[in-house]
Amino acid sequence: MKVTILQFPGTNCEYDAQYAFEKLGAKTEILWHKSESIPSDTDLLVVAGGFSYGDYLRSGAIAKFSPVMKAVTAFANSGGKVLGICNGFQVLTEAGLLPGALKRNESLHFISKYHHLKVINNDNIFLEKLNSDDIVNIPIAHHDGNYYIDESGLKELYANNQVLLKYCDASGDDKKNPNGSIDSIAGICNKEKNVFGLMPHPERAIESLLGSDDGVKMLQGFLKA
């Protein structure tokens, strides 16, 4: 199992992602964005969090034109597994690999804290180690995490089981959410279920000593490849 982790100028979660996947037994490689190809032994491509290009213009807007992104799109379109975390999710929506967009948080504040999430659909490799309605506790850290998609797009997400995770409280109530996301959506996948994006950081919830190891069950799903 080989995990390739993308690094743009301003990415800052690549080493956390590397730590998490190596702890789970995967081989990893950090790939600088100037590369025009992806290592051929890549089983999972991670677009890590951070502030690519300083979030200038819009989060992820400049990163989508990095040399590596053509190879990322080709990899995804040929069925390769891609996981975008936080800024990585923003990059994947900007690049058109995932539907919708991430707006400024409704409160206009940067939010950094643990938050409960509810599993909505687990019929995908990412969440198959979890059950629907399971609740996990995972850190969020973002300024632009307010997921938006128009009404017809939202219907399509539900129809194809593309909604993966919703923000909720400890009891699983998802009526309120931290950032204004439509229907409290925290993570989605594409129709083909090989491209995944979420704002919360499972790679930061790997050690119970540090608050939570709920991220292990999430990332483990990828490891059977």
What is the contact surface with another protein in residues (CB under 8 A)? 57-58, 61-62, 65, 93-94, 100-101, 103-108, 146, 148-150, 180
DSSP string, 140-180: EEESS-EEE--HHHHHHHHHTT-EEEEEE-TT---SS-SS-
Give the span between the Cα atoms of 95 and 64, in whole angstroms.
5
Measured CA to CA, the distance from residue 110 to residue 87 in angstroms comes to 13
CA distance 218 to 135: 11
Is 168 an active-site residue?
no
Which sign does the torsion angle of CA 166, 167, 173, 176 carry?
A: negative
Rounded-to-integer distance, Cα 24 and Cα 108, Å: 36
- Between 62 and 138, whose beta carbon lies closer to another protein? 62
Catalytic residue among 13, 86, 168, 189: 86
Q: Given the complex with another protein, which of 57 and 210 has the nearer CB atom?
A: 57
**Is residue 203 annotated as part of the catalytic site, yes or no?**
yes
Q: CB 108 → another protein: shortest distance, Å?
A: 6
Q: State how far the Cα of 225 lies from the Cα of 223, in Å rounded to an integer.
A: 5
d(CA 118, CA 134): 6
93 or 212: CB nearest another protein: 93
**Closer Cβ to another protein, 60 or 202, answer by number:** 60
User: Known catalytic residues?
Assistant: 86, 201, 203
